[in-house]
Amino acid sequence: MSAGKKLEGKVAVVLGAAGQDNMGQVIARRFTDEGARVVVAGRKLNELERFAKTIGGAAFQCDITKKEDVEALFAFAKDWGGHVEIAVNATGWGLLKGFTETTVEEIDQITDLQFKGPFYFCQAAVDTLGKGGSIIQISSATATIMLNDHAAYMGTKAGTDHVIRCVAHEFGERGIRANSISPGLTETPMTAGAKDVPGLFDSFLSGYPLGRIGTKDDIAAAAVWLASDECFMTGQNLQVNGGLTLRRNPTREEIQAAVVSATGQA
């Protein structure tokens, strides 16, 4: 291993990298910087191909809600790289909807995307990864702590965290590690609308003991460690959120008050 290259010689799959500068792309770029060869995947092939060229990787169109797509992704990655040691699922949908207003269609959609899809992903990963492989699921602090109007998102993320524990328990004897990372509020394309609301991000700050909102780079750094041979941890949910889960997210009323104060509009 070259000095400073923690992932030298490894091949990684990063699913959920079809949004420009989203969390999946930041993770993929950081993996590349650490010496890995990366297959980026998601639904938007044009963006995937554009990004893959910038990191010297490969692109593959994949809908995580389709088991055959996920299986084809890992087959492609193994053919392209010769082997696969790292599998990251960074897909998600930030559904914000009142509990009683959440529709049957929305529940089905988010279950397909954030529970069934990750289950397929883990199945394909354990069928592909060799000894010492690492599966990394991007979860959320809200799988642990509360946030209003987020029940379907939170429930599916929490369920997948437990699936990760099951994978770690069952496949540890093969040397496969499985862990999840839980960001708090993070500036990504998924939260762009919220970032544009004056005062909204500021309303979360008091919940962070380390005094700042997390970044995509924070999550990528944690993913590098989980993917590296230095990691002797499995079945865990890594809370990479500046201590947010020691405290809490703001209430609906606190968010509204912060927005009103920032805009001067009651």
Task: Band the pLDDT of 1: cuts 50, 70, 90.
Answer: very low
* Average pLDDT over the chain, rounded to an integer: 95
Residue 177 to residue 250: CA distance in whole angstroms:
34
| Local confidence band at 81 (pLDDT 50, 70, 90 cut-offs) | very high
Residues of the chain with pLDDT > 90: what percent? 88
List own/partner pairs for 160-163 with CB under 8 A and 24 or more apart.
160/114, 160/115, 160/118, 160/119, 161/137, 161/237, 163/115, 163/118, 163/119, 163/122
The catalytic residue among 76, 120, 153, 208 is 153
pLDDT at 122 over 70: yes
**For residues 209 and 225, what is the distance between their CA atoms, to the nearest angstrom?**
23
Q: Is the pLDDT of residue 103 over 80?
A: yes
CA distance 266 to 58: 50
**pLDDT tens digits for range 215-246:** 999 999 999 999 999 999 999 999 999 999 99
For the chain, give the number of residues.
Answer: 266
- Our answer to whether residue 208 is catalytic in this structure is no
- For 86, the enclosing helix (H) or strand (E) is strand 86-89
Query: What is the percentage of the chain residues whose pLDDT exceeds 70?
Result: 98
Q: What are 27-68's pLDDT values in tens digits?
A: 999 999 999 999 999 999 999 999 999 999 999 999 999 999
Q: Compute the average pLDDT of residues 192-197.
A: 79
Residues 6+ apart with CB under 8 A from 80: 11, 39, 58
Structural domains of the chain in order of their starting residue, each with its CATH number: 11-188+215-249 (3.40.50.720)
